[in-house]
Structure 1
């Protein structure tokens, strides 16, 4: 049965989980650990209301930086073509993925070996980001000699970020950023185009449209070892009273269900009895709906916010609804 994240953590009490207060519940995060820090690791490694999870990362996607995209971006930074003012090509940057931020971090680390002011972005240059994880990673790159202005971290998804950009970036009397230069969007091979389409929509007045150029900076594919690695972690945790699996995208869902023994028939639909101790949470409705439509599988929790806090709130709401899990 699906249960959404309907309650905040402040409304939950220790009484729900008194029988298992000392238990470390395995939580299998089907993603690559973010660098330099990972918000999910931080969130689930911290005791919450007397309960501690034990997070394990099981990478699903394999990412590879693309030389052409990296070289193009590097050249733009070295020629100081991003920012406000004469001679600039782009007025700001957009990041919606951790991998793109990591590519940027690599270029920044290279540049700062010789120049602490790298990447030569004026403090007024807006860097738009879709959520707290990418924001934290970008904030780690900001230094007194090279401060970064990071915006939009509370938007949560591409559509909301696009609306946020429209309200901040256009050149009007209320805007801090008056440049009408295009924005540069660092993307992977697989991405949605909601941000470019929204910012340059024909429904907008011409003066309010914002051009967006994309640089494909990394490629993505399912990791060949994922199903084997996931089965190994399931084996190591098979004797626990309960465990959670958090799935972050449709990629790898079929392999996940197969490893869980939930892919029951020749048509690829979920079947068989679940083990009663393995619970599945999705990062949001896209992944939940994919599992439902493609495999007939219902997640136990769909986070209302695509963030570590949102996932944790969903799990706590579910556990409270069961009246405890001891």
Structure 2
């Protein structure tokens, strides 16, 4: 009997991993590792003063979408919100794309066709007639801690891209204690599947003994991090989504 421990915060209003694992009757639980604080002011001011000069948006984090929905859009007029929703928006992964569609965006690009920032950058550069390059202004809504893959690929190619921080992230308290409590409650006869979604917040967890666990990584970057810390990764999801995780769980 599988018992899956997901090292992530459940997304709101629904979590695709929880929905799919419930549907498949797979026991699972979550351990939140990170806490997020919205920092919307700069983005609000930008949209109020310069919305007509923004040609497209980029969002790769569900946390950034939450900041947009919960703290930025409520501070804007209906006319500005309508303009935002009609901008082309590039994103990574189907879950974030679904989130954007749910809150009102009409022209979503990437999503299921872009599994990471590097692929999304290539997709932007592959747009016809350099539509998003020449004299076009892009805004990338990011967290305080982020990778620089997208600006590093686009800006040297002539793209006018500005990063705007909309949330800050820090590790939560008592992560190791909460992790140990979850692991120690499991029956010794049950194989524990531990799913890592990111290196962030796992500094204490990776010191644990995983010899009796099946460790899964949501992607190659996290796999590399785990292996550098001498943790054997039994499987890597083909894509960072719930369907790929379920496929992997059925294989292992």
TM-score by length of 1: 0.70
Matches within 5 A, 1:8-87: 23=1, 25-47=2-24, 52-66=25-39, 70-79=40-49, 81-82=50-51
Q: Gapped runs of 5+ residues in structure 2?
A: none
Return the offset for 1:252: 3.5
Query: 2:153 is matched with which residue: 198, 202, 207?
Result: 198
Q: 2 CA distance for matches of 1:222 and 1:240?
A: 32
How many residues were matched structurally? 251
1:179-229 deviation per Cα after TM superposition (whole angstroms, max 9, x unaligned): 73210011111111111121122xx4xxxx211101111111221221111
Check whether the contact 1:284–1:303 (CA below 8 A) recurs between aligned residues. yes
Determine which of 218, 222, 234 is the counterpart of 1:283. Answer: 218
Higher strand share: 2
Taking structure 2 as the reference length, the TM-score comes to 0.89
SS of the residue 2:245 aligns to: helix
Find the residue that maps to 1:251 and give its secondary structure. Answer: coil
- Go from structure 1 to structure 2 and tell me whether the alpha carbon gap of 1:198 and 1:109 turns closer, same or farther (over 3 Å shift): closer
RMSD of equivalent CA atoms: 2.3
Compared with structure 1, are the counterparts of its residues 105 and 179 closer, same or farther at alpha carbon in structure 2 (3 Å cutoff)? farther
* 8 Å contact kept, 2:57–2:139: yes
Q: State the distance in 2 between where 1:133 and 1:280 align.
A: 22
Q: Which of the two has higher C-alpha Rg?
A: 1
Measured after TM superposition, the shift of residue 171 of structure 1 is: 4.8
Contact kept, 8 Å, 2:44 with 2:75, in 1: the verdict is no
Q: Report 1:1-326 matches (<5 A).
A: 23=1, 25-47=2-24, 52-66=25-39, 70-79=40-49, 81-82=50-51, 88-107=52-71, 110-111=74-75, 115=78, 119-121=81-83, 124-142=86-104, 147-154=105-112, 155-168=114-127, 171=129, 180-201=135-156, 204=157, 209-239=158-188, 241-258=190-207, 260-262=208-210, 274-275=211-212, 278-293=213-228, 295-318=229-252
**Structure 2 match to 1:10:** none
Q: Distance in 1 between matches of 2:180 and 2:46?
A: 44
For residue 166 of structure 1, report the CA deviation from its aligned partner: 1.4
Asked whether the equivalents of residues 38 and 166 of structure 2 are also in contact (C-alpha less than 8 Å), the reply is yes
> Quick one: distance in 1 between partners of 2:148 and 2:65?
18
Gap regions ≥5 residues in structure 1: 1-22, 83-87, 263-273, 319-326
